[in-house]
Amino acid sequence: MTRKLLKMADERGVTIIGPATVGGLRPGCFKIGNTGGMMDNILSSKLYRPGSVSYVSRSGGMSNELNNIVSLTSNGVCEGIAIGGDRYPGTTFMDHLLRYEADPSCKMMVMLGEVGGIEEYSVCEAIRSGKITKPLVAWCIGTCSGMFTSEVQFGHAGACANAERETAVSKNAALRHAGAIVPNSFDDLDTAIQKVYKELVSSGIIVPQDERPPPPVPMDYSWARELGLIRKPASFMTSICDERGNELLYAGMPITKIFEEEMGIGGVLGLLWFQRRLPHYACKFIEMCLMVTADHGPAVSGAHNTIICARAGKDLVSSLASGLLTIGDRFGGALDEAARQFSSAYDANMIPMEFVNKMRKEGKLIMGI
């Protein structure tokens, strides 16, 4: 399957990374998959602008560590690819190192291999033949495999040495002999990169640029919420109205559209009460009912109750009685309270002006007026 896939990719001029890979990136241009990690890691590793160092790694997890190491020891990453830990990956170290060799923006290269496979020997041959001329800092991880008496299988499918020349120690020695810069251990990888970078700066091959602070980038909502920095506000809605968005909705209709179409009170009540857009005659009927039952002029509470009972099918006497029952201190003359007030004023020998001034001073209403 892998051979068929590679053959099809070659025929179509397609570059395949992986399949077992985290991806790759070119700072300031793009990133593939989850390469580079979250936004805070991208900013701390200066992956928002291009540098001068291109790397190729077999391990995707170690590629993220390379982003950090390169950003601390140089002006940053130019391009980085993790080819994946498959025994037969879609692309090899050589595929990408030759691309970096032809890329004028790349001034030096870093290769991070591992135990298993013999691809690193192709890199050695390319250095000796002159195909690779740019400085190459290389290291193959897994040198501890020699400490075990039996064969060691690391995490990747391809990280298994079936012969002496597939061990990390043998490949590191071959790379060093071919002319690559190989540190004594992984702990010295950053020192080796920094040394080569400073030499390129001293020779004028790399011209450092002024470091500009990156523009502020908002934190991802999901990450900020997980850290407890923000919370999602509670939103309430019913089938009648919805206030969650930027615009109020009545039965699904935006409030601006209601105003634009001049739906009026009848149209709004149709949406709120019946959850649908009523025909024109129904809206007019609702508005007529509101005008008739509004408490002003002849449409006082007594008349209102009488009309309601009549519409409910009650007889005339019952309808009239329901209206009379609303007569009290606030409607219908307030006969009882008015009689008490006027009687008290009469008994006190008050003239009308004195009675009115007294009630105003006490803050009381004069019933029946």
- The residues annotated as belonging to the active site are 156
CA separation for the pair 16, 12 (Å, rounded): 11
Are the C-beta atoms of 38 and 223 separated by less than 8 Å?
A: yes
Closest by Cα among 250, 241, 285 to 266? 285
Residue 54 φ then ψ, to 5°? -105, 140
Contacts within 8 Å (CB) and 24+ apart, 276-283: 276/251, 277/251, 277/253
The one-character DSSP state at 187 is: G
Contacts within 8 Å (CB) and 24+ apart, 210-217: 212/49, 214/43, 214/48, 214/49, 217/39, 217/43
Are the C-beta atoms of 70 and 51 separated by less than 8 Å?
A: yes
User: Tokens standing for 199?
Assistant: 């030499």
User: Tokens standing for 180?
Assistant: 């690559």
Are the C-beta atoms of 146 and 167 separated by less than 8 Å?
A: yes
- State which H helix or E strand residue 41 sits in: helix 39-44
Closest by Cα among 146, 162, 166, 132 to 58? 166
- State which H helix or E strand residue 94 sits in: helix 93-102
Closest by Cα among 222, 216, 194 to 43? 216
CA separation for the pair 346, 174 (Å, rounded): 126
